[in-house]
Amino acid sequence: MSERKATNVTWHKSLVSRQDRERMNGHKSVVLWFTGLSASGKSTLAHATEERLHQMNCRTFVMDGDNVRHGLCSDLGFTLEDRHENLRRVGETAKLLVEAGVLVLTAFISPLRADRERVRSLFPHGDFIEIFCDAGLEVCEQRDPKGLYKRAREGEIANFTGISSPYEEPLNPELRLDSGHCSVEENVDDIIALLRLRRILPLPE
């Protein structure tokens, strides 16, 4: 699916650069890639972080795993091959948004390290920040807000990550959050602190 079939196409360079957009926004642009099991807090943290950033007058956009399957990836299932294509599309879209000067927050299980590394390879060094929402399987099953783990245990859902499909934890994420025990506010504080440390956000005056 990822092979480019279009021919006779030429890349047109924009007269407005990414750096121009970043200067206008007052912050740099990166992708914050939230990964973890279902119910580990990815979407909750991505949206809570976006809200905090919005209050700081930052340009942001959240790409949520469920939301993109209503449109951009509505033709894909949950086999490993479809997950690979799902993340390829998301990665390419996030790359465009980063070029537009936006702080992109993505919330995807993205279970395989190889797929996450492929997305990382789309970005210059430092522009892809992997955030591991580290909530164990037991915690996620106890939460189970959509009842998916129960259905997966009963054999109603195939290819469910953590039950019948593997999840490979990040080996060296830029940030590991204890999303199983720490509060949302504490985790968001850690994310903002990392963005300031990396000079993505300006330091407070």
| Domains of the chain, residue spans | 26-197
pLDDT, the chain, mean:
94
Query: Does residue 84 register a pLDDT over 60?
Result: yes
**Cβ neighbour number for residue 131 with a 10 Å cutoff:** 28
Which CA distances in Å does 68 have to 2, 20, 82, 157, 204? Answer: 18, 29, 13, 20, 34
Catalytic hit among 29, 38, 110, 165: 110
Collapsed DSSP state (helix, strand, coil) of residue 24: helix
Query: Does residue 204 register a pLDDT over 80?
Result: no
Q: What one-character-per-residue DSSP string does 120-161 give?
A: HTTS-TTSEEEEEE---HHHHHHH-TTSHHHHHHTTSSSS-B
Confidence label for 7 from pLDDT (cuts 50, 70 and 90): confident
pLDDT at residue 79, as a whole number? 85
Q: Is 110 a catalytic residue?
A: yes
User: Thinking of the domain 26-197, which architecture would CATH place it in?
Assistant: 3-Layer(aba) Sandwich (3.40)
How many residues make up the chain in this entry? 205
Collapsed DSSP state (helix, strand, coil) of residue 105: strand
* Dist. CA 82–CA 50, nearest whole Å: 28
Return the CA Rg of the chain: 18
Confidence label for 1 from pLDDT (cuts 50, 70 and 90): very low
Which alpha helices (H) appear in the chain, and where do they start and end?
A: 18-25, 42-55, 65-68, 80-99, 113-120, 137-143, 148-153, 184-197
The share of the chain scoring above pLDDT 70, in percent, equals 97
